[in-house]
């Protein structure tokens, strides 16, 4: 499942994003451009991705509210 995350501070790197999402399961890929507030996280199992979405959407990371949703692209 590919997950789109918006709202991350631009200084957040791939390793930090991987750490946050790994609490919900395996991570196969993290995509993020430095300075951008959008990241994509790919998890191999839908149930792990859905758990991450429901648990993290609307939470604060480094003082900013993040939006976590399934990516259809």
The residue segments making up the domain with residue 7 are 2-70
pLDDT, position 35: 77
pLDDT, position 11: 74
Q: Is the pTM of this model over 0.75?
A: yes
pLDDT, position 41: 97
Residue 33 CA to residue 12 CA, distance in Å, equals: 10
Q: What is the CATH number of the domain that holds 24?
A: 3.30.70.330
What is the number of domains present in the chain?
1
Report CA-CA distances (Å) from 28 to 9, 18, 25, 34.
22, 10, 10, 19
The C-alpha torsion from 12 through 57 and 1 to 45, rounded to 10°, is 110
pLDDT, position 13: 86
Q: What is the pLDDT along the chain (73 residues), one digit of tens a residue?
A: 999 999 987 778 899 999 999 999 999 999 987 778 899 999 999 999 999 999 999 999 888 899 999 998 7
């Amino acid at each position: 499942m590919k997950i789109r995350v918006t709202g991350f501070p631009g200084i957040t790197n791939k390793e930090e994003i991987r750490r946050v999402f790994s609490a919900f399961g395996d991570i196969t890929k993290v995509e993020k451009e430095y300075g951008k507030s959008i990241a994509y996280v790919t998890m191999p199992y839908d149930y792990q991705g859905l758990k991450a979405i429901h648990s993290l959407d609307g939470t604060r990371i480094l003082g900013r509210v993040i939006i976590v949703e399934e990516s259809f692209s």
